[in-house]
């Protein structure tokens, strides 16, 4: 697979990661309101919390997202400008990336992470009870 194609795959994975975080929180909040039992699934909630915790930890530590770094390196290797690519990749970038000071992103990530944590208090995941035999 060419470096440009791999960069496009990384963009789509990155987009899926962000979409899962955003849509996951929206689903949890709607699930609280509409009493959807599936939003309390422990695996869904643990994965969702872990994913945002990774983003918050990277932002707090000042670490660039590895997916962004890998994509940039692959685009450079392919002779492309960064944050560019084919049609789909360019639109995904327009949706996901905008210019702001790094502290703005850190504040947004931390706020989002706190919102995810708040859902653990408002509507904690359900843990199955294990019967003692």
Q: Which residue has the tokens 């653990």?
A: 120
Write down the mean pLDDT value for the chain.
87
pLDDT at position 102? 83
| Burial per residue of 67-106, b for 16 or more beta-carbon CB atoms within 10 angstroms, e otherwise | ebeebbebbeeeebeebebeeebeebbeeeeeeeeeeeeb
Token pair listed for 108 = 């947004």
pTM: 0.82
- In angstroms, the CA 113 to CA 109 distance is 6
Examine the pLDDT at 11 and tell me if it is beyond 90: no
Mean pLDDT of the 32-48 span: 96
Residue 116's nearest CA partner among 14, 27, 35 is 27
């Amino acid at each position: 697979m060419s470096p440009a194609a791999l960069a496009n795959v990384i963009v789509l994975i990155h987009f899926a990661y962000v979409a899962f975080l955003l849509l996951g929180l929206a689903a949890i909040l709607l699930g609280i309101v509409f009493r959807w039992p599936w939003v309390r699934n422990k695996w869904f909630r643990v994965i969702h919390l872990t994913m945002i915790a990774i983003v918050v930890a990277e932002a707090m530590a000042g670490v660039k997202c590895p997916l962004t770094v890998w994509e940039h390196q692959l685009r450079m290797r392919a002779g492309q400008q960064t944050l560019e690519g084919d049609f789909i990749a360019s639109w995904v970038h327009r949706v996901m990336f905008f210019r702001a000071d790094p502290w703005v992103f850190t504040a947004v990530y931390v706020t989002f992470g706190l919102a995810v944590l708040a859902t653990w208090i408002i509507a904690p995941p359900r843990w199955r009870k294990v019967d003692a035999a």
